[in-house]
Amino acid sequence: MRRTPRADSDDDFEARISTTPRNTFQGIENPVVLLPSQEPESEPETGMRSVALMPMMNDLDLPIALRKGVRSCTQHPISRYVYYDHLSPLARAFISNISDVEIPRNVEEALKILEWKKAVLEEISALEKNGT
C-alpha cells in the first residue's frame, strides 16, 4: 500500500493499493540459496568471496517431528539432582503410591478406567456448562 499526500492538507493521505504482485518467480522449479562459504577469501584484493550453492528447503513442508530434531538431556541428567535418600517415610509412601497410578495414553484408554471415565465426563460437563 502506497500513501500519497494530498495537495490540500499535509495530514491527509490517499491510499493506493496495487493488486499486481511485486515479485513473481515463474518458471523457477528448484530455487537456490547463495550462502557465503566457510573457505578463506581467494581474492582479497577484489573483496569478492566465493559462495556455496545450496538447494532451498522450505521448513514448512517438513513434518514437525523432522523440524524439531531430537531432544537430549545428557548434560544435566535428573538423577544427579533428584534422589530419594533423604525423604521422610511419609514422603516415600506418597511417592510410591504415585508410581502405582495408571495414566492412560488416550481417551479410549481413559474411558476404560472408572476413575478416569468419571473425570473425563466431569470435564466435558464443565465445558458444556461454560459454553466452551
pLDDT digits (tens, 9 = 90+) for 49-93: 555 555 555 667 777 777 776 666 677 777 777 777 888 999 988
The full set of domain ranges for the chain reads 75-130
> What CA–CA distance (Å, rounded) separates 111 from 121?
9
Q: What is the pTM of this model?
A: 0.29
Report yes or no: 3 and 14 within 8 Å, Cβ to Cβ. Answer: yes
Q: Where are the alpha helices (DSSP H) in 1-113?
A: 64-68, 89-99, 107-112
> What CA–CA distance (Å, rounded) separates 106 from 121?
14
